Structure 1
Amino acid sequence: MIVICVMDDHGGMLFNHRRQSQDCILRARILQRTKGKKLWMNAYSYEQFAAESAPHIVVSQQFLYEAAAGDYCFVETCCLKAVESRIEAMIVYRWNRSYPTDFRLDLALAPPHWVQTHTAEFAGNSHPCITEEIYFPAAHGEET
């Protein structure tokens, strides 16, 4: 599975059980990237995608265990350490800000376990600069 997550400068994803922020341009980018593939997420994450009516979104509370190889998983509220061995790639979007946080990504996306292969910046709707980073497990090193 290919995991997509959004975080602040310190790996923060949630504060007080709510997402730190959201951006309509980022959502459109995620939907375009995953078009033609399954995009798994839980009901909480689907709340921000519901208006898009994307037919390739699959909602399940157990999505990290149900997703197959090559499927995308949008993660906001889940720990990933238990499924790390199933992750083929990580696509991380960074807000380039520091927000209050009480839930952080539980993986260290750094060598020797992870290799960053791509970085790009784009303007969002609510954030003037969003950074896209792609990581692979050190054994893979291929591009998504």
Structure 2
Amino acid sequence: MNVCVAVDDNMGMMFNRRRQSQDKLLRKHLIELVQGERLWINHYTARQFEDPLPDNIIVDDEFLKKTEDSDFCFVENLPLTEYQNKIKRIFLFRWNRSYPADIYLDISMLQNEWKMISVSEFEGSSHKKITLEEWKHEDI
């Protein structure tokens, strides 16, 4: 599976049961990134998207157990360590600032099995610069 996560400078994802931030241009970029492949999200994340959802977005709170090899997931509030042997690529959307956080990305990108294969930047609607890093797992 391919996992997409929005993180701050400290790999924080959420604070006090709320996402740190959101950006409508990040969501647009995410939809373009998946190129029509299935994009799994949970009900919490679905509230970010406008109705009706694109046909390729699947809302299911147990999505990490159901994804297939070429599927994408947008993860905001779930631990990933349990599924790391299924994850082929991680797309990090970086806010390029620090926010308070109590939930963090629980996979270290600095481990040897992860290699950054691309990095790009784009301007968001609420963030002057959002950095997108693509990381590939060497063994999957």
TM-score, normalized by length of structure 2?
0.96
What amino acid sits opposite 1:73 in the alignment? C
What amino acid sits opposite 1:121 in the alignment? E
1:13 correspondence with 2:13: yes
- Name the stretch that deviates more: 64-73 or 46-55: 46-55
In the alignment, which residue of structure 1 is the partner of 2:66?
A: 66
- Name the stretch that deviates more: 53-62 or 89-98: 53-62
Find the aligned partners of 1:24 and 1:50 in 2 and give their Cα distance: 10
Find the aligned partners of 2:100 and 2:111 in 1 and give their Cα distance: 27
1:90 correspondence with 2:90: yes
Q: How many residues align?
A: 140
For the 8 Å contact 1:24–1:124, the answer to whether it is kept is yes
What amino acid sits opposite 1:67 in the alignment? T
Q: What SS does the aligned partner of 1:85 have? A: coil
Find the aligned partners of 2:106 and 2:128 in 1 and give their Cα distance: 27
Counterparts of 1:110-121 in structure 2, within 5 Å, are: 110-121=110-121
Query: What root-mean-square deviation, in Å, do the aligned CA atoms of Structure 1 and Structure 2 show?
Result: 1.1
- Name the stretch that deviates more: 128-137 or 105-114: 105-114
In the alignment, which residue of structure 2 is the partner of 1:131?
A: 131
- Name the stretch that deviates more: 106-115 or 1-10: 106-115
What amino acid sits opposite 1:45 in the alignment? T
Q: CA deviation at 1:33?
A: 1.5
What amino acid sits opposite 2:29 in the alignment? R
1:38 correspondence with 2:38: yes
For the 8 Å contact 1:35–1:56, the answer to whether it is kept is no
Q: What SS does the aligned partner of 2:50 have? A: helix
Q: CA deviation at 1:52?
A: 5.8
User: Where does structure 2 lack aligned partners over 5 or more consecutive residues?
Assistant: none
User: Where does structure 1 lack aligned partners over 5 or more consecutive residues?
Assistant: none
Q: What SS does the aligned partner of 2:124 have? A: coil
TM-score, normalized by length of structure 1?
0.93
Find the aligned partners of 2:120 and 2:88 in 1 and give their Cα distance: 20
Q: What SS does the aligned partner of 2:49 have? A: helix
What amino acid sits opposite 1:89 in the alignment? R
In the alignment, which residue of structure 2 is the partner of 1:56?
A: 56
Q: CA deviation at 1:73?
A: 0.4
